[in-house]
Structure 1
Amino acid sequence: MGHSQLSPHSAVRTELAGLAALRAGERGPIALLLPGYTGSKEDFAPVLDELVTAGFQVVALDLPGQYESGGPVDEEAYLPGALGQVVADVVTELAAGGQPVLLLGHSYGGLVARSAVLAGAPVAGLTLMDTGPEHLPADGMRYQALGIGEELLREGGLEPAYALREEISARFEAWLRIPAEVKAFLRARFVASSAAGLLGMARALREEPDRVGELAAALRSREAPCLVVAGENDDAWSPETQRDMARRLDARFELVPGAAHSPNTENPAALLKVIVPVWRSWVL
């Protein structure tokens, strides 16, 4: 089996500020990793041990409502602003131990990470991975699928919504190559998540405004560096859009070869070659 959410690692399942987490490493700067929409902490399984070997402590979170983290029934609680405050509190708690905290947000987690910085999270560096300056492009397949999924979630709940997701995914060769045990995990994770959380996040993915200017000002005021990373074949926000976002943030921009929207599972070795040297230059 290739790299996936079930890749072996030495991280320990724990809780942090009431959120489910995978934590590895005992010394060094802390890398806090936020997953995307319908994701979880396990999305980072292929890179956890390698980051520890590179000198970092690693904490991968389930955001509120995701998989093993509970959350409220209010859909508003899952918008980037609300989740960003939760993450800012987590960063503050981690930083209280004396080590710098590097924050990485993938996809929807990138919108949350941005809001965490705007909420005052004391980060020593920010990495935005396969995320964009605002909501998903309205003409994209992912944006359109969210509208269909919302109807199913509201009318029938999690099971029919995931059935549609599988039906759409089955059209793509990459899905057909996924081992059965990974598909079983992906389904179990989805149906264990909060319907309110999925609805709130989906709303933000279709409505979130461009806050790049605010983020750039916040990073400058704290002298916190930023890295923007994109899979070379990202089909959510285009690499060109992410490159322009990096320019506006005065941030370094890197493409990950052999990856689309999830370099952490599609080409983790190439992702590590990008992020590890940059992170080490920031804090080691």
Structure 2
Amino acid sequence: MTVGTRRLAALFAPAAASASAASVPAGRDAAAAQPPTLLLVPGYTGSKEDFAPLLDALADNGVAALAIDLPGQYESPGPDDPRDYTPAALGDVVAELVAALPEPVVLLGHSYGGLVARAAVLAGARVAGLVLLDSGPGALPAGPRVQALQLGIPVLQQQGVAGAYALRTALTERLRGQLAPPPELAEFLQRRFLASTAAGLLGMGQSLLTEPDRVDELAAVLADRQTLIAVISGEADDAWGVAQQSEMANRLGTSLVLIPGAGHSPNTEQPDRLLRAVLPLVRSVSS
């Protein structure tokens, strides 16, 4: 799909037809009869495929789901300036996409994608609901992920994407604490990383170290527009962490929803449990 001059690769799951959607009572608002559209935004080094485990089940539950690559990710080309990959810059792209989708739209951002989704709402994206998944109030807190970025950014600048991938692989093997992925998945992860633009990896990586806390701005906009909000995290998230996300949820007027058995990516680690957490919000926007 094309947004402005940018081509964004996407995975799409159309909503399954249902009897209740086939006939609309007289006088009912047309938007209320439209199945909700769930726009799924991936995180740093991610892509639309991160949401593939959710798509069939979302369609079966009457949700039209659209998972995208952000510009510069995997199969979506992007500009050459790292400044075009800040949450604010990418938020403008996502806001433009939201405006082209049938309403009502629920926007879900995972990790860095949560910062982008927040920026899209602050840029004026008219969404009925916002889901922040394993995301945070601003820059990553001190820890292994920050250390990896501090090591990786200079390598990316000096050796390019291939050098950054070699470093990432070495760090992952040192920190994993779990079994390596199956060969087919490992091959895909390598191919996806190497297809990413250097500018995108650099701009997003730097933003993860510098993004300001904009939670109070977001809370005010959500309240003004009466936009539904959910904050969801894997119970063992090692990025922003459960405590920081819980505090963010409170500032947004909601409570953190934890996904048992998941770390930083419930969408791939526990998709069925994540689906059960997301569906109530998505259904409520069209009720």
Taking the aligned partners of 1:164 and 1:177, their CA distance within structure 2 comes to 16
Regions of 4+ moved over 4 Å: 172-175
Contact kept, 8 Å, 2:118 with 2:218, in 1: the verdict is yes
- Cα RMSD over matched residues? 1.2
1:164 shift after superposition: 1.0
Question: CA-to-partner distance for each residue in 1:31-51, whole Å, 9 max, x for gaps?
Answer: 000000000000001001111
1:21 aligns to what? 10
Taking the aligned partners of 2:201 and 2:169, their CA distance within structure 1 comes to 16
Taking the aligned partners of 1:51 and 1:174, their CA distance within structure 2 comes to 32
Q: What SS class does the counterpart of residue 285 from structure 2 fall into? A: helix
Q: Choose from 263, 270, 274 the match for 2:273.
A: 270
Taking the aligned partners of 2:47 and 2:38, their CA distance within structure 1 comes to 16
**In the TM superposition, what are the counterparts of 1:61-140 in structure 2 within 5 Å?**
61-94=68-101, 97=102, 99-137=103-141, 139-140=142-143
1:281 shift after superposition: 2.2
- Number of positions where the alignment pairs a residue of Structure 1 with one of Structure 2: 266
Structure 2, gaps ≥5 residues long: 17-34
2:22 aligns to what? none
Taking the aligned partners of 2:227 and 2:199, their CA distance within structure 1 comes to 33
- What is the percent sequence identity of the aligned residues? 55
> Which structure's CA Rg is the greater one?
2
1:70 shift after superposition: 0.7
Q: Choose from 216, 220, 230 the match for 2:219.
A: 216
Q: TM-score, normalised by structure 1?
A: 0.91
Q: TM-score, normalised by structure 2?
A: 0.90
Taking the aligned partners of 1:144 and 1:101, their CA distance within structure 2 comes to 36
**In the TM superposition, what are the counterparts of 1:189-200 in structure 2 within 5 Å?**
189-200=192-203
Change (3 A) 1:268 1:174: farther
2:164 aligns to what? 161
Question: CA-to-partner distance for each residue in 1:218-269, whole Å, 9 max, x for gaps?
Answer: 1111100100000000000111110110100012420000000000001111
Structure 1, gaps ≥5 residues long: 1-14
Taking the aligned partners of 1:176 and 1:68, their CA distance within structure 2 comes to 28
Contact kept, 8 Å, 1:34 with 1:110, in 2: the verdict is yes
Taking the aligned partners of 2:120 and 2:48, their CA distance within structure 1 comes to 18
Change (3 A) 1:173 1:195: closer
